[in-house]
Structure 1
Amino acid sequence: MQADLIYDVGVNDGSDSSYYLGKGFRVVGIEAHPGLAQTLQQRFSSEIAAGRYTLLNLGVADQDGTMPFWVCDDVSEWSSFNRDIASRDGSRHHEVHVSTRPFIHILAEHGVPYYCKIDIEGNDRFCLDGISPNDAPAFVSIEMSHRNGSRDLAQLEALGYRRFKILNQLNFTPALPWLVSLSRPARVKRRLDRFYSSRFGKREDEGWVFPPGSSGPFADGTPGRWQSLAQAIATWGKLKKISDKAGSLNVWFDIHATR
């Protein structure tokens, strides 16, 4: 493991990469979206020239090759190898073909990072499949599947991770299922949301303000206590019940894990 290295898998607009670079880390950024990759190449040109930033314009898959990739024209974050994700809510989208590479090969070439952020709209599991339990990042985060969160947690546990946090990505607070389910009166819920966010959330770090859509803090900088696998599965299970009943949580969560 290289203690000064972070992987940003799913760079999107580069907000997370910029934050990691500002913290003094070297960064390997992976972005399948060709248009975004071109913009990122320009944005981080000086860091690339200095050897602090490596940008890979490819998708993570189970084999080398090329695959159809669906670019969401309305919400770039929804661009995906899965057309259902790219077309969410009737969004305009179009097909391109991008190069793909197994994550295990990327790790072999660029090294195992201290922290690996994974957010690639449906292909997160391909990254986890490429991680070796004997040489894994100290910290990793993935977007939580509302439907299959227990599977994701079990896979992380199989890789040697023993402590977990589930964070609300709107305000970077530890997940509170009862607060997510609270709906009436609306003004009370808003006040509780604001209080909980101000008390336990982390919208900035040493002057860096996390923009909407960013992944937020990482590693031991994340708020809240680490949970055991059983506790994390219980938290996910409560969120899943709320989602199943309401049809949607209207908020997304990330799973953070460490050994």
Structure 2
Amino acid sequence: MSAPAHISPSIKPVLPPLRIGDPVLAATLELVYLRPFFESLPAEKRSAVDIGAHRGEVTGELLAQGFRVIAVEPQGWLADRLSQRFAAEIESGQFVLERCAASDKQGTAILHVGSASTISSLEEDWTTVAFPEFFQSPTRVEVPLLPAGELMRRHGMKHASFAKIDVEGHELPALRGLLAGAIAAEPPAAIMFEASHAFPEQAEACLKFLASNGYTKFDLFIRWGVDPVAAERSLSAELPDAWRACEGRNFYANFVAYHASASTIAENSDPIAFIRQYQMLKSIDLLRSLPVTPGVPNGRRATMASLREDILSGDWTAFPQHKLSRHIAFSPAPAEQPGQSTAASRIVEVGAGFGQRALEAVRANPQLAYTIVDLPERLAVQHFHLTLSAPRMVVRVADRLNDRPTPGEVLLVPPGLASAATFKNADVRPGQGWGDLPTDLLELAESAVVCGAD
């Protein structure tokens, strides 16, 4: 089922607002989503466990919300960093740091440390499949193992309202160790764990384990980097449709599981609405930040200014597609002929209106790599339209010369980052705004059309 062309007016903006561009959002996005739950907890219930604390962004957010936190981090240099960052909280007893790996047993194990700063795993199979490029020459370190439930007992934490688990493939043993012992009598109201596209069976095993321990609702957030591209709420311990729809692409996901005893915490939350807000806010932020291109004819410039004003000052939570199409400068490109959009594996559209052709082409062929080259102010509108109409579609703005899209992605390229490589081995098509583009870019694009972009 395709996404609706507008966001329901009933969806209210996130408060406090998302900080688009915040460098820690990659680690804390779901915690922003969970803030209403955190705020509903009385002070005496604000206890949490952060398993796989890494640089401490999740811990920092929880501490800011008034939680007492036990953090588990086996990598020595990261643990050192955490102890320095949260020295005052350690002194006050609000924060406890354990230099070990969380599992379902006590003992020791080999931690495989990759070349990326925070990627390490107890699971050797995980290192060769999920991120093999970071484990060409891994460092192997022996680390102690302890169940999180045992760590809670040692530090007098009888109950945790929230637990986060990010341990690169060792999530199921970590969950078993968390819900073992006394904590099983009063399990966390919400548990968040990470899952990889490369290991769907492990993700589903975690869901089934949680369901067997009284967890009845599951929110899924699928992400490429910082950006969420799909979400779904499920009442089943099976991988939901949103996961299945993204199979074949590289992604990671976070599941938030809610215990039946605290099911009311999830009643007023909506993961799909949340990511739609994120996508809209990102588009609006882009629209504000990209400059207006000099040299555009006055009529087109006035139309662009009018469209910007509509989007930036209007009720964006209910922004319909027809408000885009009524602006003549952004009218859609001519409709594709049957089969035309799927004939190529890579399409470059030069001057793309508001992006309708790209939307239809990628919907028709999810493996199509689509590039739009256009004026910056139009790219912002295209980003707005594409993310509004197809929230699961990956839409990003090029940030370097010779950037190329991956299958299923729409890449937006400003003139200054377009080069011969942009058009190479692609089906190049002129769009509605072709004539407004800089002369040197048009010559490059026309050359690609004439030469077949070989």
Verify the 8 A CA contact 2:169 2:195 in the aligned structure 1.
Answer: no
Q: Distance in 1 between matches of 2:206 and 2:104?
A: 17
How far 1:228 sits from its partner (Å)? 1.2
- Among candidates 144, 156, 160, match of residue 195 of structure 2: 144
1:119 matched to 2:166? The reply is yes
Letter in 2 for 1:154: K
Corresponding residue for residue 9 of structure 1: 51
Corresponding residue for residue 19 of structure 1: 61
Write out per-residue CA displacement over residues 4-54 of structure 1, whole angstroms, 9 at most, x where no aligned residue: 111111010111111111111111110011121111111111110111110
SS at match of 1:164: strand
1:229 matched to 2:236? The reply is yes
Larger Rg computed on CA atoms: 2
Q: Distance in 1 between matches of 2:106 and 2:70?
A: 19
Q: Distance in 2 between matches of 1:86 and 1:94?
A: 12
- Among candidates 144, 165, 170, match of residue 99 of structure 1: 144
TM-score, reference length from structure 2 = 0.41
SS at match of 1:120: coil
Corresponding residue for residue 122 of structure 2: 81
Letter in 1 for 2:50: D
Write out per-residue CA displacement over residues 107-141 of structure 1, whole angstroms, 9 at most, x where no aligned residue: 32232311000111121112221305532101001
Letter in 1 for 2:244: K
SS at match of 2:45: strand
1:69 matched to 2:123? The reply is no
With over 3 angstroms needed to count, the CA separation of the structure-2 counterparts of 1:125 and 1:15, relative to structure 1, is same
With over 3 angstroms needed to count, the CA separation of the structure-2 counterparts of 1:62 and 1:229, relative to structure 1, is same
SS at match of 2:191: strand
Q: Distance in 2 between matches of 1:172 and 1:49?
A: 36
Verify the 8 A CA contact 2:191 2:257 in the aligned structure 1.
Answer: yes
Write out per-residue CA displacement over residues 191-248 of structure 1, whole angstroms, 9 at most, x where no aligned residue: xxxxxxxxxxxxxxxxxxxxxxxxxxxxxxxxx7x43116x63326624xx42xx3xx
Corresponding residue for residue 40 of structure 1: 82
Verify the 8 A CA contact 1:86 1:93 in the aligned structure 2.
Answer: no
1:60 matched to 2:107? The reply is no
Write out per-residue CA displacement over residues 173-196 of structure 1, whole angstroms, 9 at most, x where no aligned residue: 4735xxxxxxxxxxxxxxxxxxxx
Q: Distance in 2 between matches of 1:104 and 1:60?
A: 9
Corresponding residue for residue 30 of structure 1: 72
Q: Distance in 1 between matches of 2:229 and 2:220?
A: 6
How far 1:257 sits from its partner (Å)? 0.8
SS at match of 2:143: strand
Corresponding residue for residue 221 of structure 1: none
RMSD: 2.4
Letter in 2 for 1:114: S
After TM superposition, the structure 1 stretch with the greater mean CA deviation from structure 2, 99-108 or 55-64, is 99-108
Q: Distance in 2 between matches of 1:104 and 1:8?
A: 12
Verify the 8 A CA contact 2:171 2:206 in the aligned structure 1.
Answer: no
Aligned residues: 203
How far 1:171 sits from its partner (Å)? 4.8
Q: How does 1:173-188 map to 2 (within 5 A)?
A: 173=228, 175-176=230-231
SS at match of 1:107: helix
How far 1:153 sits from its partner (Å)? 1.4
Paired-residue identity, %: 26
How far 1:86 sits from its partner (Å)? 4.3
Name whichever structure is richer in strand by fraction: 1
Letter in 2 for 1:142: F
With over 3 angstroms needed to count, the CA separation of the structure-2 counterparts of 1:98 and 1:24, relative to structure 1, is same
- Among candidates 64, 70, 90, match of residue 133 of structure 2: 90
Q: Distance in 2 between matches of 1:13 and 1:47?
A: 15
TM-score, reference length from structure 1 = 0.70
Q: Distance in 2 between matches of 1:174 and 1:227?
A: 17
SS at match of 2:215: coil
Corresponding residue for residue 210 of structure 1: none
List alignment gaps of at least 5 residues for structure 1. 177-223
Q: Distance in 2 between matches of 1:3 and 1:250?
A: 37
List alignment gaps of at least 5 residues for structure 2. 1-40, 260-454
With over 3 angstroms needed to count, the CA separation of the structure-2 counterparts of 1:233 and 1:96, relative to structure 1, is closer
